[in-house]
Amino acid sequence: MQRRQTSAAWLFLAPFLITVAVFFFYAFARAAYYSVTDFNLFNTPKVIGVKPYADVLGDPSFRRALGNSLVFAVLTTALQTVGALLMAVALNRRLRGLTFFRAAWYMPSITSSVVITLIFLWLFQRRGVANYVITQAQAYAPLTLTFLLFLIGVQVTQVLLERRRALPAGWFDPALGVTSALLATAVTAALAWIGVISAREVPPFDYQYFADKWITLGGVRILSIPLLVVVIQNTFTTIPTLMLFFLAGLQNIPRALYEAAEIDGATPWQQLTRVTVPMLRPVTFYVVTVGLIGTMQMFDQVAVIGSAAPGDTLITLAYYVYANTFKAGAAPVNLASAAAILLAALILAMVAAQRRFFPSEAS
Amino acid sequence: MKKCLLLSFALLASAHAQTTVKINGYGGTDPAVVGDLINRFVKPALAKDKITVVYEPLQGDYNKSLTTLLAAGTAGDVFYLPAETLDGFVATGKVLPLNGLVNTSPFIKSLNTAFTRNGRLYGVAKDFNTLTLVYNKDLFDEAGVKYPDSTDTWATLQTKLTTLKQKLGPDYAGICLQPNWDRFGAFAFATGWTQFDSKGKTNLADPRFADSFNFYTGLARGKVGIQPSEVSEGWTGGCLKTGKVAVGIEGNWVVNFLRDNAPNLKFGTALMPKSTKTGKRGNFLYTVGWAINSGTKNRAAALKVLNILTSPQVQQYVLEQGLAIPSRTALTSNAYFKKTDPGAVNSRLVFDGADDGNVRAFTFGPQGTDWSKPINEALAAVLSGQKSAADALKKAQADMNAFQSR
């Protein structure tokens, strides 16, 4: 009986185990082997020791790829984790049309990343939507500033009036906010109609995003502008997936904790930082781990943008591996393998460090 | 009985055996062009030999696709072999040396050299291109400056461009400078500099290299020369299309581009300027050849196909259709070259460029395209004003040394 059960288990596990054995363990072993040989895709590999590793570490492109990957991973993981958490908290309330919002927010994650990358390329062209929006914002700045000024003024006056009547009113009271917004709109429209304020003539905002431009820190190139665009894009597409994890985690936090906090007079911000965040720690650990691994392996966006961005502005470790394997004819596959092994080691080290210093258990 | 039946089947099959020769080449317009050549010339000639020919275009990055097909052993019997990536493909051992199999004497000598490594010929040039100065006649007329011509040296060209820029003002530029080896290299060759020394190393500290580097990047001073990105374009053709840039360094491919994208632009062509010091021009030979897969089972048939595709009839047809510039010396006197329309003039100068001054194949050496990276980075850094020429060259040499010691 026992034997039969065991063999049945093996049988069910077999498809998965075989796939892992062939496409992971075998492939990994081969890459490790190639990384110490002179393999070029066509020759019979001959072991030459650690020279490929030395060559890879001495390659400026590899160092740039390493820098790009690390900056990208840290920045994107941080942004998407915080963004996903906030969005999950927002969508965890009982709102009208909640299902619609949950579905709508999830759209970027289920759209192909190649398609999204093409859309982003188009958005951030020199005559693209991003530059157009900035131009329009500059042109209509007098109107928007007037609106904002009146909005704040009216809101402050209203809240102060309410408080004088000893009514509890917060600075962001939505009901008062709507009145203030309507009033401010009316005033702005009136001023524009009389001709006191109007849109300005501004030259089109002309910024080239996919160019060899860098954000530097003390003369060291930290982040290229093209990579920043990819950071924004990746954050945009990944937040919804991670949000789902947080939403699931939020369901497991007992209501009683929030009630107790409210009785103790905790503000919504305190409830978020003192109850929600600590209770979500296991989910956060998972989200950060998945985020780090995913971002360290980022490849598709870079491949799609390809030569639209110059030189090494976008190169990542995964792309470096690809670019060194598929060239014209014989290729330095040993360098690519060495880089792949280094990438794997780096991800492993990052996750290990994260496990060591950021406990995954809820405190 | 059964055996007998099998045997007769086998005999029947071999009697009707058709040899199929598969050709791999570019996508785009090539399937139509090569398909036309196959139908017009190859099929009639090979019908009696029972050889059928199919063209399988590789869409996207041709070099990468061909690499995977060769590695997997499924590449065509005959394929396009770009001279610029020749070394990488030769290193695979999958390209058949053609010495003694093909008569190369009717082809332009420098083209044969472009496909030769260690005395072995790996391809027969299908067609070729070189660089020329393509200029916007209207801008020169408006500025009252003489057109560039074939007597220009670097110095006289620079004077013409600087004057033009001064006359036309900030909205216009004299020349479009791509920050990469594929254009700049021609100037380096004009000085007599060579890509690799006898040990296969590249010397960027050579004064001749520095001389050409300083000239090329010096054109950017005062915005006389600009990079394509400064006018929101990706290459020189795009620069010319805007009508704001007077000169571009391009090959014959720019003619069709301008015809389609800037039909009203009046352009002329001149040979590349001569180095002021050596008095010689430098130029690149861009060429794609026909090569044969060393693993082919139909070697004889593949050779027949290759010979037809490089025959005088085919090349004449291709030239007269305005598709490409032929690789046979005998076609120099073709009537097409005597026409005076801008496209034909450009074709003639491109043809002449192959045999004037220091002409070298456009190639990156055995380590592939990454060879040009240090040079491209140096050009970009100086052209955009981020570095001085001396600093950029020093860094480029250090990067080149690291690259070549791999």
Residue B16: pLDDT band by 50, 70, 90 thresholds?
low
- Domain annotation covers residue B264: yes
What's the pLDDT at A361? Answer: 65
Instruction: For residue A63, list chain B residues with Cβ-Cβ distance below 8 A.
Output: none
Q: What domain range includes position B302?
A: 19-129+285-338
Looking at the structure, tell me whether residues B184 and B252 fall in a common domain. Answer: yes
- Domain annotation covers residue B12: no
Instruction: Using the CB atoms, write b or e for A249-287: b if 16+ within 10 Å.
Output: bbeebeeeeeeebeeeebeeeebeeebbeebbbebbbbb
Nearest CA in chain B to A50: B406
Looking at the structure, tell me whether residues B185 and B144 fall in a common domain. Answer: yes
Across all residues in chain A, what is the average pLDDT? Answer: 88
- Domain annotation covers residue B122: yes
pLDDT digits 0-9 by tens, B144-199: 999 999 999 999 999 999 999 999 998 899 999 999 999 999 999 999 999 999 89
Looking at the structure, tell me whether residues B243 and B387 fall in a common domain. Answer: yes
Is the CB of A212 less than 8 angstroms away from the CB of B82?
Answer: no
Residue of A126, A208, A330 lying closest to B88 (CB–CB):
A330
On whether any CB of chain B is under 8 Å from the CB of A200, the answer is no
Is the CB of B406 less than 8 angstroms away from the CB of A335?
Answer: yes
Is the CB of B64 less than 8 angstroms away from the CB of A328?
Answer: yes
Nearest CA in chain A to B67: A329
What's the pLDDT at B344? Answer: 87
Residue of A60, A61, A126 lying closest to B232 (CB–CB):
A126
Is the CB of B63 less than 8 angstroms away from the CB of A327?
Answer: yes
Looking at the structure, tell me whether residues B65 and B205 fall in a common domain. Answer: no
Q: How many angstroms separate the Cα of A204 from the Cα of each of A87, A130, A134, B63, B209?
A: 34, 11, 9, 40, 41
Instruction: For residue B182, list chain A residues with Cβ-Cβ distance below 8 A.
Output: none
Residue of B89, B376, B380 lying closest to A328 (CB–CB):
B89
pLDDT digits 0-9 by tens, B82-112: 998 999 999 999 999 999 999 999 998 889 9
Closest chain A C-alpha to B290 CA, distance in angstroms: 16
H helix intervals, chain A = 2-20, 27-34, 51-58, 60-91, 98-110, 113-123, 129-139, 141-164, 174-194, 225-251, 255-263, 268-271, 277-279, 281-296, 300-305, 317-325, 333-357
Q: From the candidates A35, A40, A41, which should be mutated to test the interface with B, based on the most B CB atoms within 10 A?
A: A41
Looking at the structure, tell me whether residues B243 and B380 fall in a common domain. Answer: yes
Residue A305: pLDDT band by 50, 70, 90 thresholds?
confident
* Residues A333-351, mean pLDDT to the nearest whole number: 92
* Residues A102-130, mean pLDDT to the nearest whole number: 84
Looking at the structure, tell me whether residues B173 and B304 fall in a common domain. Answer: no
Instruction: For residue A61, list chain B residues with Cβ-Cβ distance below 8 A.
Output: 370, 373
Tell me the β-bridge partners of B293. Answer: B95
Rounded CA-CA distance A252/A244 in Å is 13
Nearest CA in chain A to B404: A55
Looking at the structure, tell me whether residues B375 and B268 fall in a common domain. Answer: yes
Residues 6+ apart with CB under 8 A from B112: B104, B121, B125
Looking at the structure, tell me whether residues B199 and B323 fall in a common domain. Answer: no
Residue of A126, A212, A329 lying closest to B85 (CB–CB):
A329
- Domain annotation covers residue B6: no
Q: What's the CATH fold of domain A51-135+205-357?
A: MetI-like fold (1.10.3720)
Q: Which residues of A, range 101-140, sit inside 8 Å of B by Cβ?
A: 126-127
SS3 A108: helix
Contact B104/B124 with Cβ under 8 angstroms? yes
Residue B14: pLDDT over 60:
no
The CATH number given to whatever domain includes residue B112 is 3.40.190.10
Looking at the structure, tell me whether residues B137 and B259 fall in a common domain. Answer: yes
Residue B210: pLDDT over 90:
yes
Residue A309: pLDDT over 80:
no
What residues does each domain of chain A span? Answer: 1-26, 51-135+205-357, 141-194
* Residues B126-139, mean pLDDT to the nearest whole number: 94
Looking at the structure, tell me whether residues B188 and B317 fall in a common domain. Answer: no
Residue B15: pLDDT over 50:
no
Closest chain A C-alpha to B97 CA, distance in angstroms: 16
Closest chain B C-alpha to A45 CA, distance in angstroms: 13
- Domain annotation covers residue B223: yes
Residue B262: pLDDT band by 50, 70, 90 thresholds?
very high
A115 phi and psi angles, rounded to 5 deg: -65, -45
Contact B84/B78 with Cβ under 8 angstroms? no
On whether any CB of chain B is under 8 Å from the CB of A219, the answer is no
- Domain annotation covers residue B345: no
Is the CB of B91 less than 8 angstroms away from the CB of A40?
Answer: yes
On whether any CB of chain B is under 8 Å from the CB of A60, the answer is yes
Residue A151: pLDDT over 60:
yes
* Residues B341-357, mean pLDDT to the nearest whole number: 89
Residue A363: pLDDT over 50:
no
pLDDT > 90 in chain B, percent? 66
Looking at the structure, tell me whether residues B141 and B271 fall in a common domain. Answer: yes
Looking at the structure, tell me whether residues B125 and B274 fall in a common domain. Answer: no
